[in-house]
Amino acid sequence: MPLVKVKLEQSGPNEVFTRDGTARELYQPVLDELERMGPEGWDERTSRAHEKLLEEQRGYDIREGDKTHPTDWFPRLISASSWEVLERGLAQRMRAINEFLKRLEAGKEEVVPREVIESSGLYDVSVPDRFGEVPARQIGFDLVAVEGGEAGGGWRYLVIEDNARMPVGAMSMSRLRTLTPEVFPESYAALGVRPLGDLLGRLGEVLRAVSPLPDPTLAILSTGPEDQYYLDHNFFAQETGALLAERHEVELDGGGYLIHKETGRRIDVIYERIEEGRIYDDLPKLVESHLEKRVHAVFAPNVNVVDDKGVYPFIPQMIQTYLGEEPIAENLETWSLAVEEDRRYVMDHFDELVIKSRSGWGGKDVLIAPEESEETVQEFRKMVEENPVEYIAQRTIDFSTHVLCSANDGELRLRDSYADYRVHTLSPDPDTVEVVPGAMTRVAAPGSRLVNISSGGVMKDTWVLS
């Protein structure tokens, strides 16, 4: 009698099993090893992995509670052929975004309507732009998979969000990669997984390259122990030899240089991980210091305009206009209500679409029109008509699910749940884009499509096969 029970309930296609419950060939080594280890072996291996995370937490003197990220240890796999397309598409997208930011700084941007930029809550028109020779050196791209990518089936990947400011996940990827192969050692060896290498060391090099100094001091500015990623901040600081400081632990000296109070060290490069507000709100003259190149900000003021949902619809056009290429990694079908033709279409098909506020986050200010009452739809429509430039519209899609694994009553259970990818790209110089061969996969709680950790989602390791 098989020890692994499979329960598929979601309408989205599952990446591990076909619709009739047959295991996909790619995952057979993992499923075979799972069957061999059984529920007792699963509990033993995953408990050991979690205990190592807790030991690491305690090693940073974080002793209260469990600050580790909720994790599912069943790995996600990406075939070599799928990754090749994804890698080219995301490198192309990063080059286009950096070209957009360069042109924005030079006053020569011509793709995104000025009305969209100046009305963005992520763009401060009072702050002059200084993005540097590589405006965005690290971007986290969020993607989902839909059926029908490769000849004879497979997956097609759609970018759903661009994160040019403070994209999380690199530290979690590095940590999970040290532990997931211990849960599935036979599968990891048999599948030929591409290594992440010294991911954090490489990220540290890319960040320090912002400064022209030969050995600049890098500081990670953190919200502090209350931040859900504070353990990541500690881990990254240790791995890269960076200073870790909270906002009250730095100050500007008389010459306008940023100083770490405790050590007196001058900070050359800041890598901001402050969730609430900005370091510039605490130190207003820090903007002037950045503009005058006394300190270099990895996430420069205004670079996060890229993250605006209102800019997202124009990225395919950036690729066409600035690179002279057709987009490889596609957007979801999206309409910008700042464009008259798009606005007419959306208003004519309002009750069929998902309407999103550009300034909304975490599922707020979103109307899924087909699921709402006519009264609710009409109320939202009035808000859109009053300020259309604030909104975009998209079609709903049924993206892929992965599995969550648990051991109960002497058997292993796999349940399907919706998942996305966070893939990181790095750009150390104007001519280079590196796509990290892996991803931070986030899986929603069963029955939900919200993959955020704060909404009950979990992380899992993602293996790119060679």
Name the helix (H) or strand (E) containing 97: helix 80-106
- Check if 211-297 and 333-394 are the same fold: no
pTM over 0.85: yes
pLDDT, residue 149, reads 58
Percent of the chain with pLDDT strictly greater than 90:
82
Alpha carbons 208 and 217: distance in angstroms, whole number: 8
Alpha carbons 307 and 289: distance in angstroms, whole number: 24
Do residues 285 and 256 touch, judged by C-beta distance below 8 A? Answer: yes
Domain boundaries, the chain: 4-210+298-310+399-464, 211-297, 333-394
Crossing angle of helices 28-59 and 170-183, in 10° steps, is 120
DSSP type of residue 109 = -
Q: Which of 387, 123, 95 is nearest to 114 (CA)?
A: 123
pLDDT, residue 448, reads 85
| CATH architecture of the domain formed by 333-394 | 2-Layer Sandwich (3.30)
Whether the per-residue pLDDT at 15 is higher than 70: the answer is yes
Crossing angle of helices 199-208 and 170-183, in 10° steps, is 170
pLDDT, tens digit, for every residue of 396-427? 888 999 999 999 888 999 999 999 999 999 99
Provide the CATH topology of domain 211-297.
Rossmann fold (3.40.50)
Percent of the chain with pLDDT strictly greater than 70:
97
End-to-end CA distance of the chain: 34
